Amino acid sequence: MQELEIKIKKDGQVLPGDVLKVGSFLNQQLDVDFLMEMGAEIARLFKGDDVTKILTIESSGIAIAVTAAASMHVPVVFAKKHVSSNVSGECYSVPIHSFTHGNTYNATVSKEYLSPEDRVLIVDDFLARGNAIRGLAGMVKDAGASLVGCAIAVEKGFQGAGDALRSEGIRVESLAIIDRMTDDGDIEFRR
Amino acid sequence: MQELEIKIKKDGQVLPGDVLKVGSFLNQQLDVDFLMEMGAEIARLFKGDDVTKILTIESSGIAIAVTAAASMHVPVVFAKKHVSSNVSGECYSVPIHSFTHGNTYNATVSKEYLSPEDRVLIVDDFLARGNAIRGLAGMVKDAGASLVGCAIAVEKGFQGAGDALRSEGIRVESLAIIDRMTDDGDIEFRR
């Protein structure tokens, strides 16, 4: 999605440790009009795939998942990273290691929100090492639901997880794929 | 908003400790088509108030904030509860006590995303004891920005925080206000 590549070049900041900061439109501040366009593009990519539910993980995945759902007219379910009194009953639970935060947490979803009849699209803002996506895919499998594919805003292609998932037969559509990123701010996208 | 009251009566569950579980449409699972209607209603209520930015807090406030922003065509900024490598530079930071989770956390927003020119609408899914709203209002003040008001999906009117804020001159618009809620599931809305 060319507009996204332009926006990453214009507003993104490369921080040490392969961190791409896009907080001005995709993370702490959300350019919702632009996110709605990204959501519409995700809906276009998965049109005809009979998606019944979008699965994401709190909290930075929620916004892009909601805008995709607004175009696809399906519900969003988000996995929680922290157990809360609002989650009751039986849950699907998978451990996910976060390189960004340097810890491992249990992502949980109440069993009532994923069922074998569901055709699930996983949506997230970033795909880096793929741990979150693999965790969510594991939940879809545990639920006996069908995984239609994954829609990602920004894939760090140079970290290889997206291509690994694709080689396993999982459909991964990323709106922008970064193949090279240098500490002095140079960003190269996959053509 | 009558459709919201009907949905709370139909799908909400009262849990011990004055917890209202609306996870099937407003929390862990998000009925995005319905949230878009709620967002449009918030836009209608604050039409003409020249809102430049919506402020919320992760993670359950993000979805309703995004749908309101989609109708209002303004960006969303969300306060983070957990420090992350994605937040850099100077921040506004306020301590907020959560009764739901029984802890106190520091909510932070990068200073670059709130400025004195901003006219801020605070949006959240729940208003119970008002700690999160007061924390966010404190950030707006710290930034020298103007607080236009607060838009809430579900206010627990019986806990009094909404009326306390109103008596201090803050405009609080809640799409549903619960005045009584019993452990056997009876819910009474304010007329």
Query: What does pTM read for this prediction?
Result: 0.96
Give Cβ neighbours of residue B125 (< 8 Å, ≥ 6 apart): B26, B27, B60, B61, B63, B64, B152, B153, B154
ipTM of the prediction:
0.95
Q: Which of A62, A77, A68, A59 is nearest to A151 (CA)?
A: A68
Beta pairing class for B103-110 and B53-57: unpaired
- Using CB atoms, pick whichever of A21, A33, A84 lies closest to residue B88: A21
Contact yes or no for A128/A122 (Cβ under 8 A) = no
Beta pairing class for A187-189 and A19-21: unpaired
Q: pLDDT tens digits for A60-105?
A: 999 999 999 999 999 999 999 976 655 568 999 999 998 877 889 9
Q: What is the pLDDT of residue B88?
A: 62
Mutate to test the interface with A, among B15, B30, B105, B109 (most CBs of A within 10 A): B30
3-state secondary structure of A19: strand
- Using CB atoms, pick whichever of A17, A19, A78 lies closest to residue B28: A78
Question: What Cα–Cα distance (Å) separates residue A14 from each residue in A17, A128, A183, A184, B88?
Answer: 9, 14, 6, 7, 12
Residues of B in contact with A112 (CB under 8 A): 24
Helices H, strands E: what count in chain B? 5, 11
Q: What is the pLDDT of residue A16?
A: 85
- Using CB atoms, pick whichever of B19, B21, B29 lies closest to residue A75: B29
Mutate to test the interface with A, among B29, B81, B115 (most CBs of A within 10 A): B29
Q: pLDDT tens digits for B159-168?
A: 999 999 999 9
Q: Give the gap in angstroms from C-alpha B191 to the nearest C-alpha of chain A.
A: 27
Q: Are A28 and B78 in contact (CB < 8 Å)?
A: yes
Q: What is the pLDDT of residue A88?
A: 63
For the record, the structure tokens of B84 come out as 């992350």
Q: Does residue A59 have a cis bond before it (omega within 30 degrees)?
A: yes
For the record, the structure tokens of A28 come out as 């702490």
Residues of B in contact with A77 (CB under 8 A): 28-30
Q: How far apart are CA B161 and CA B78, in angstroms?
A: 21
Average pLDDT over every residue of B45-56: 98
For the record, the structure tokens of B1 come out as 């908003």
Q: How far apart are CA A173 and CA A149, in angstroms?
A: 8
Q: How far apart are CA B96 and CA B134, in angstroms?
A: 8
Q: What is the pLDDT of residue A183?
A: 84
Average pLDDT over every residue of B126-134: 96
Q: Give the gap in angstroms from C-alpha B35 to the nearest C-alpha of chain A.
A: 9
Q: pLDDT tens digits for B13-39?
A: 998 888 899 989 999 999 999 999 999
Give Cβ neighbours of residue A167 (< 8 Å, ≥ 6 apart): none
- Whether B10 has its CB under 8 Å from any CB of chain A: the answer is no
Mutate to test the interface with A, among B24, B53, B74, B86 (most CBs of A within 10 A): B86
Q: How far apart are CA A25 and CA A8, in angstroms?
A: 9
Strands (E), B87-182: 91-98, 103-110, 119-127, 146-156, 172-181
Q: Give the gap in angstroms from C-alpha A22 to the nearest C-alpha of chain B.
A: 8
Q: What is the pLDDT of residue B87?
A: 55
Q: How far apart are CA B120 and CA B78, in angstroms?
A: 12
Q: How far apart are CA B114 and CA B145, in angstroms?
A: 7
Q: In this prediction, what percent of chain B has a pLDDT beyond 70?
A: 97
3-state secondary structure of A12: coil
Q: pLDDT tens digits for B180-191?
A: 999 888 999 998
Q: Are A70 and B36 in contact (CB < 8 Å)?
A: yes
- Using CB atoms, pick whichever of A33, A70, A113 lies closest to residue B73: A33
Q: How far apart are CA A145 and CA B53, in angstroms?
A: 39
Q: How far apart are CA A25 and CA A38, in angstroms?
A: 12
Ranges of each domain in chain A: 2-189
Q: Are B101 and A110 in contact (CB < 8 Å)?
A: no
**CATH code for the part of the protein at B2-189:** 3.40.50.2020
C-alpha count within 13 angstroms, C-beta hemisphere, residue B162 = 23
Average pLDDT over every residue of B133-145: 97
Q: Are A86 and B113 in contact (CB < 8 Å)?
A: no
